[in-house]
Structure 1
Amino acid sequence: MENTKKEEIERWYDDHSDAILKFILMLVKDYQQAEDLTHETFVKAYLSYDSFQKNSSQKTWLFRIAHNVTMDYFRKQKPLSL
């Protein structure tokens, strides 16, 4: 099972990493940071693979993870001033 999961994530990476990188780059406007967040997206996808219910396409699921990873990044950058 573990090997299959790894192969699947690698295939998803090959198929979708460029689009996810462009999406994140559009948001953060920093290529190096976008690369890091893209990597983090696929690490989270790997760790959360068992929770993927296949109700949507893997691309939709990966973009949701990418969006959440990027929003987390922004939250950490600008602490709220009270």
Structure 2
Amino acid sequence: MDSLTNRLIADIKQGDEQAFAELVDLYKDKVYQVAYRMVGHVHEAQDIAQEAFLRAYTNLDKFDTTRKFSTWLFRITTNVSIDRLRKRKPDMHLQDAVKGMEEVTYESQLAATDELPEDQVVKMELQEWIQSEINQLPIKYRTAIVLKYLEDLSLKEISEIMDMPVATVKTRIHRGREALRKRMRHL
């Protein structure tokens, strides 16, 4: 993918808008996943992904082509996510309860699948609970945990994204895991 990415970047720098659309298409799912796992809300993650791509596009001339584009893009995404988390104000989200709609839940809207509805709900609740617990971690630990365990990135890649030494990344992952373990033990 790196040679394709490098070709697309060269084309974008020459003014090819279609090349940027192709680049977005290549990375949009992973960028969204990083954003979602950082903030835990669908619409906010979509906004963050769009902003990350906009920042990448406007700063493409600063990208060092000797490095991995995905690492640079994920760094932008985590920085935008962290900025959002710092500015976050309590608000209402689609999954929140709405007066008069107590009977209608997300689970009641599930499509039929081979998996039993009860199993699907339990699995979804477990995933939501884990994501909720990750969202309670301090941002510096949350970022390291998301990139390591949910995005499955290497320590070197995380080090580049977070702009810190590998040893510091290891410490943050360890401390984040310990904090998560303590949080989950009490529940």
Are positions 1:47 and 2:58 aligned together?
Answer: yes
2-side partners of 1:55 and 1:68: how far apart?
A: 21
Letter paired with 2:46: E
**How many pairs align?**
77
Task: Give the drift of 1:10.
Answer: 2.1
Match of 1:18 in 2: 29
Task: Give the drift of 1:2.
Answer: 5.1
Cα-to-partner distance string for 1:27-79 (whole Å, 9 max, x where unaligned): 1110010000000000000110110011321111110100111011112126x
Using the TM superposition, name which of 10-19 and 63-72 deviates more.
10-19
Letter paired with 1:47: T
Identify the structure with bigger relative contact order (alpha carbons < 8 Å, sequence gap 6+).
1
Gap runs ≥5 in structure 2: 1-12, 90-187
Task: Judge conservation of contact 1:9–1:45 (CA < 8 Å) in 2.
Answer: no
Structure of higher CA gyration radius: 2
Picking from 74, 80, 83, the partner of 1:72 is: 83
Task: Give the drift of 1:23.
Answer: 1.2
- Normalised by the length of structure 1, the TM-score is 0.82
1-side partners of 2:18 and 2:70: how far apart?
A: 16
Three-state SS of the structure 2 residue aligned to 1:55 is: coil
- Normalised by the length of structure 2, the TM-score is 0.38
Task: Judge conservation of contact 1:9–1:42 (CA < 8 Å) in 2.
Answer: no
Match of 2:20 in 1: 9
Runs of 4+ in 1 over 6 A off after TM superposition: none
| RMSD (CA atoms) | 1.6
Identical-residue share of aligned pairs (%): 30
